[in-house]
Amino acid sequence: MSISLFDRKINPIQQAGLIFAGSLLIMGAGRLLQAVGVSVETLFPWSIATAFTLLFAVFNSMMSLTADNAMRYYAASVYSYLGLAFTNGVAAWLISGVPLADAESYRWIYVVITFGFLVFMSMVNLMKRIVQFAEREEWTEPRRRK
């Protein structure tokens, strides 16, 4: 018995919540290791925040293939992404003590991931529309153009 992620419909808000929980867990583990005396980079929370934001972007784009209402899912995805990026950024700032402006290249990484998220979502929606169009066409006898 095989269970696919695509068989389950997880809305973007739940996805963002799960990703944020995972992000906090690893940031907290890094902080705990630092408190015990293990050498952890100061910008480690920013690295985790951007990595988990990218994970959401990729995972959410793939999950949008199974959405019943693409526009509603797309809107919820964008708002969830913005909320996740903001809360991950605030968590990374609070845990590391370094604001985004001073977090070296992570500000640009956030911009690139945001642009990539929008491109991923657009590509998936375009592919979905192409497949829906192809499914409606009669391939046994294509229409003749005049």
Cβ atoms of residues 42 and 106 within 8 Å: no
Residue 35: HSE in the Cβ half-sphere, 13 Å Cα cutoff = 8
- CA–CA separation, 3 vs 13, rounded Å? 22
- CA–CA separation, 33 vs 116, rounded Å? 32
Series of mean pLDDT values for 10-residue runs along the chain (146 residues):
64 94 95 89 93 95 85 92 96 92 89 93 87 73 60
pLDDT, position 127: 86
Which of the 8 DSSP states describes residue 101? G
pLDDT, position 26: 95
